[in-house]
């Protein structure tokens, strides 16, 4: 009887161990709990597609977050490729939209730029000339003037409103 009880106890312990390990996110590394952050980026009231949004932490723990805007200027932050959201805390924000400059100095859409970059990465080792098409002050978290506090519950519909002036 004691052997049966011991076998049941060991089995229950093993099941609990496997279930608890299965509930952990193995790809988090040492990133603390995150909160969902999403929103839109506009320039003079118009959505900015293909912009890089970077949240630079001002305190500790120092875990940044980043995103790319879609065609409607919407973004959802992530700390890494596998961890969505941002660690709650205070951030300075930088926003850039870097596009390649064509031979005749015209810019192209974000989709065309990505397609062109993929082709060049495959067939060329040349570096491309690029430029940021947003006002330069937003290219640095220190000069952008954008500060965001991410609460534990996260932020939905954050509006990052850039101006040309």
* Mean per-residue pLDDT of the chain: 80
Tell me how far apart the alpha carbons of residues 41 and 1 are, in angstroms, rounded to a whole number: 68
User: Domains (ranges, CATH) in the chain?
Assistant: 32-97+134-162 (2.60.40.10)
Structure tokens at 123: 């067939």
Is the omega angle on the peptide bond into residue 43 within 30 degrees of 0, that is, cis? no
pLDDT tens for 5-51 read 343 443 333 443 333 333 344 566 788 999 999 999 999 999 999 99
Tell me how far apart the alpha carbons of residues 121 and 125 are, in angstroms, rounded to a whole number: 7
The pTM for the full model equals 0.70
Residue 57: which H helix or E strand, with range? strand 52-57
For position 113, what pLDDT does the model report?
A: 62
Helix (H, G, I), strand (E, B) or coil at 73: coil
Tell me how far apart the alpha carbons of residues 74 and 62 are, in angstroms, rounded to a whole number: 25
Mean pLDDT (whole number) for 90-100 = 94
Structure tokens at 72: 């409607």
106, 115, 163 from 32: Cα distances, Å: 43, 35, 34
Tell me how far apart the alpha carbons of residues 39 and 69 are, in angstroms, rounded to a whole number: 9
């Amino acid at each position: 009887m004691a052997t049966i009880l011991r076998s049941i106890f060991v089995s229950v312990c093993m099941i609990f161990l496997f279930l608890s390990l299965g509930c952990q996110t193995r790809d988090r590394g040492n990133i603390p709990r995150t909160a969902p952050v999403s929103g839109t980026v506009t320039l003079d009231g118009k959505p900015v597609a293909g912009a890089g949004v970077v949240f630079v932490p001002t305190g500790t723990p120092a875990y940044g977050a980043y995103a790319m805007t879609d065609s409607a200027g919407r973004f959802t932050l992530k700390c890494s490729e596998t961890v969505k959201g941002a660690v709650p805390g205070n951030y300075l924000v930088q926003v850039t939209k870097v596009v390649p400059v064509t031979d005749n100095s015209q810019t192209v859409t974000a989709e065309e730029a990505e397609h062109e970059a993929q082709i060049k990465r495959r067939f060329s080792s040349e570096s491309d000339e690029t430029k940021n098409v947003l006002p330069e002050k937003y290219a640095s978290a220190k000069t952008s003037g954008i500060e965001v506090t991410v609460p534990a519950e996260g932020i939905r519909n954050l509006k990052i409103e850039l101006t040309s002036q």
